[in-house]
Chain A
């Protein structure tokens, strides 16, 4: 897809600097700065002492990490951070495992009921989460899952979107690899895990990124299922904390920064893969 860049081929023959291009570049750059302004203010305020919150200079006069220390030691943020990390990691592993296992099975085996199962899983994409939360809540109440890690995690352990995405990618893997492995006497599980999975690594990373991000930022269901502060995820914790601390904007901004830093760090490190992953998922989905 990327080799079809029309501009690369065309513009190589044009003079390098043209006023129209410079103007376009400048406008896009300014737009980009406007886009990250809320993030800049958030980080800047989180580094300011309470007395300087209303000083709107972006670079703090005497930056301090005391807000971070205060937020992490006197509130539940450390715990909420851990909860979010735990929940998002486990759910991501489960999705990478099960979505690709089911996607692989539906793409690579011929058996009765294959089409039915695929359509059934696909149809779950039409059902909004909001419609399921009331039954999930009652189910959780009956099974004692309310206010537990399992309660936060169970609805997302597999997703129709992930299964659909992985099936699309496994369809593109040639059967020869698997047949060769079968002749070598490998069992089907090993063939899937050792032979097929590495071949769809880009799709797996896209799936992992989406699932992690989705669960890290999830708000609606964790808000419903958790009642004790020890089990809040970061977004729910921040929301409850912000209500209590409504006047201490520097504390709220520090909390917001804590919720944002991990995903931004991951993005800065894996930028190329993440953008490609979004493109892959968007085009395939």
Chain B
């Protein structure tokens, strides 16, 4: 590149006066002009739409603000209030319930399906499509389909099936203990197809020679799975663990739509952090308090991302 830059410079120098405006610059300068032409709008975008709002969220979290009066600086009072708020601890517990049960269940399910689906060739595309289709649906729409499934007997499909089998009726979304798992099933169902596809991509990236060598060494299927497949699949698994954890920590669409008559109910037993943020900010207009909650969410997600980096570094 430098050689070319000099060539151009030489050519420009030998040219008589009155060459075009652009010709007065070296190739290098011209390229710099292009670079910053390309980057000008994006740099502005990221500054105004991403970085400034991030700082603003931290600032707002230190204020008392209901949109009516100007924001008042109150230090860490919002955080103090948050940590003594029993509602917050309920929400915290719910959010981690989605995470702690949702992530492992969805990963084990999707890995098992991907592992066997990878070996199927007859009708492979069809079966894969069946599993993948729910991923392409709208969470808000599917929440309503599942909500209908969970209705009591004459309406709800699941209770109808239970009745046909002579089993007792279940309250599902109306029960303080069953509502959260019911919503979680919907969320797992919606994300399963994506995880299966990613696991299959990971499985296919493992070179055949590893398996051949293992078979020559006389390893059984189970040993191959434990000693070759799972270790080589670690980056894929870590990627999915993080993605899935973030998904469950940010769950909102399903909960909001499956409990619209009493968002996060019954008795707040399904309410996740993002729904609490939404209600604090846009139902009760406690902007500062809501901002403090978003900062807590950010910190939790940050810890998870750092854990991912740490685990991947550990490998090499």
User: Interface residues, chain A, CB within 8 Å of chain B?
Assistant: 1-2, 4-11, 21, 24-25, 27-29, 31-33, 35-36, 38-39, 41-42, 45, 54, 56, 98, 101-102, 104-105, 109-111, 117, 120-121, 124, 126-128, 130-139, 154-155, 157-158, 160, 163, 182, 187-189, 192, 213, 216-217, 219-220, 223-224, 234-236, 238-239, 242-243, 246, 249, 252-253, 255-257, 259-260, 263-264, 267, 271, 275, 278-279, 282-283, 285
Contact B140 A135 (CB under 8 A): no
Distance A117 CA – B47 CA, assembled complex (angstroms):
11
Judge if B75 is at the interface, Cβ distance under 8 Å.
Answer: no
List the A side residues contacting B239 at CB < 8 Å: 282, 285
List the A side residues contacting B76 at CB < 8 Å: none
List the B side residues contacting A32 at CB < 8 Å: 126-127, 130-131
Contact of A4 among B38, B145, B205 (CB under 8 A): B205
Q: A24-B116, A42-B141 are in contact. List 12 more A-B contacts (CB 8 A).
A: A6-B211, A33-B130, A35-B193, A109-B34, A120-B46, A135-B54, A137-B281, A219-B252, A239-B256, A242-B257, A260-B136, A260-B137
List the B side residues contacting A121 at CB < 8 Å: 46
| 12 A-B contact pairs sorted by A residue (CB < 8 Å) | A28-B120, A32-B127, A35-B193, A36-B133, A38-B145, A132-B50, A133-B294, A134-B57, A134-B287, A138-B56, A252-B144, A282-B201
Question: What's the nearest-Cβ distance from chain A to residue B281, in Å?
Answer: 6
Tell me if B's interface is mostly helix, strand, loop or mixed: helix
Contact of B144 among A24, A28, A120, A242 (CB under 8 A): A242
Q: Nearest chain-B residue to A263 (Cβ)?
A: B136
Contact of A9 among B56, B128, B208 (CB under 8 A): B208
Judge if B117 is at the interface, Cβ distance under 8 Å.
Answer: yes
Contact B34 A189 (CB under 8 A): yes
Q: Beyond A28-B116, A224-B282, A271-B129, is A124–B294 a contact (Cβ under 8 Å)? A: no
Contact B145 A253 (CB under 8 A): yes
Distance A256 CA – B146 CA, assembled complex (angstroms):
11
List the A side residues contacting B38 at CB < 8 Å: 101-102, 104-105, 188-189, 192
List the A side residues contacting B290 at CB < 8 Å: 134
Contact A6 B148 (CB under 8 A): no
Contact of B305 among A56, A126, A252 (CB under 8 A): A126
Judge if B88 is at the interface, Cβ distance under 8 Å.
Answer: no
Q: Beyond A130-B294, A188-B34, is A38–B189 a contact (Cβ under 8 Å)? A: yes
